[in-house]
Amino acid sequence: MDLLTALVDKGLRRELPTRDEALAVLATSDDELLDVVAAAGRVRRQWFGRRVKLNYLVNLKSGLCPEDCSYCSQRLGSQADILKYSWLKPDQAVDAARAGVAGGAKRVCLVASGRGPTDRDVDRVSQTIEAIKGQHEDVEVCACLGLLSDGQAERLRAAGADAYNHNLNTSESTYGDITTTHTYADRVDTVHRAQAAGLSACSGLIAGMGESDEDLVDVVFGLRALDPDSVPVNFLIPFEGTPLAKEWNLTPQRCLRILAMVRFVCPDVEVRLAGGREVHLRTMQPLALQLANSIFLGDYLTSEGQAGQADLDMIADAGFEVEGAQTRTLPDHRELPAAGLCGTHGSDGAGRGTDEAGCGGHAGGACGSHRPGVAAAAGVSAPGGVRTDLVAVRRRGAGTDLPPNA
């Protein structure tokens, strides 16, 4: 296909595709799907080889959030039967993180529900970061605490945080339909604060909330302009007790097209296969590794994932290797401070901070984008009803007395 040849050439040059080209990827037929995956896979291998980065989530504070994000099981008014607890102590968080690191995780993501941290909360998280770094010097730590205010990003950076997550989630034009308690611009501001403090920005999206192809392209182009170093791609799991409980809009083929489009638009960025992959990709998960170079290991914030060993087996069976702690994730041109735009953008002029493209609250796959076990996949695409069989609420790990899954 002429389209795919053009997109591969642009991806290898880090050049921004046109919106029409991105839309055309989403509109390809099932007969063309393997060609699309192969083309985007060339771009992925150019910048990341056959490495897969493992990330591990620790839910520092679960539930009881005052925000009304429709996708989230921790939202204001949620009836989801999730674990609810206040802040973990640093030693509890270290114990939770240890399981992920032992499973091969290179990054630990510390997440807390809420609109944003108080200064006391930042002190708590800073102590936790220092404790984790004290035991695991080479592990990256990403914080995800909601909206940041003056000086908070700098304090997290001083404590040893490497990154900050705040997801874009959806397009600016549809953002108000998903969340009303804060704005798209609020989220953008937090990403800019993190970047200005020297933190690596992590910002992604949630697909499957009823958005159009145009909305998906809008949100990914917004991410390209925002220029995060990592982009989690979540596939909504409609969680019982949330407003989106009946939104079943995805198929494995649709998910692969979305991942391919993200890879073409953000060619040299860490694209993370995040929440909902077992439910929506199902047996096609290994094929998605041709597009994404990063995944979450084990459980998510309020729901269970497939066994951590199953993730490791999948990576090995697909011919990939787990990225080691001493290996740089990003290409050299993105690691150099002098790059300014982190090397993502070509001659299109779309630089960091040039587009008020928002950024979401919780780490990739958190809240409403949860991961149930693979065995629950049957009938997933059936529309029109709540599927209580597809989401296994997390009852182990952080906030419980049971060992975590990693």
3-state secondary structure 4-68: HHHHHHHHHCCCCCCHHHHHHHHCCCHHHHHHHHHHHHHHHHHHHCCEEEEEEEEEEEECCCCCC
- pTM of the full structure: 0.87
Question: Of 51, 98, 142, 277, which one is the catalytic site residue?
Answer: 142
Question: Of 44, 69, 107, 266, which one is the catalytic site residue?
Answer: 69
pLDDT at 220 over 70: yes
144 is catalytic: no
Distance of alpha carbon 116 from alpha carbon 162, whole angstroms: 19
CB within 8 Å of 52: residues ≥ 6 apart? 289, 293, 294, 295, 315, 320, 321, 322, 323
109 is catalytic: yes
Least confident of 53-67, 87-101, 193-207, 374-388: 374-388
Question: Of 14, 44, 51, 65, which one is the catalytic site residue?
Answer: 65
Q: How confident is the model at residue 390 (pLDDT cuts 50, 70, 90)?
A: low
The pair of structure tokens assigned to 327 is 């290996």
User: What is the reported pLDDT for 399?
Assistant: 83
Q: How confident is the model at residue 384 (pLDDT cuts 50, 70, 90)?
A: low
266 is catalytic: no
Percent of the chain at pLDDT exceeding 90: 65
272 is catalytic: yes
User: What is the reported pLDDT for 39?
Assistant: 98
| Distance separating the N- and C-terminal Cα atoms of the chain | 41
CB atoms within 10 A of CB 393: 16
Question: Of 202, 255, 266, 342, which one is the catalytic site residue?
Answer: 202
Distance of alpha carbon 203 from alpha carbon 213, whole angstroms: 19
Question: Of 272, 277, 352, 394, which one is the catalytic site residue?
Answer: 272
pLDDT averaged over the chain? Answer: 85
Question: Of 14, 44, 51, 72, which one is the catalytic site residue?
Answer: 72
Residue 18: what are its φ and ψ, rounded to 5°? -80, 160
Q: How confident is the model at residue 81 (pLDDT cuts 50, 70, 90)?
A: low
255 is catalytic: no
Report which secondary-structure segment, H or E, holds 319. Answer: none
Task: List, for residues 333-381, the tens digit of each pLDDT value.
Answer: 997 543 333 334 343 333 333 222 223 344 444 444 433 333 333 344 4
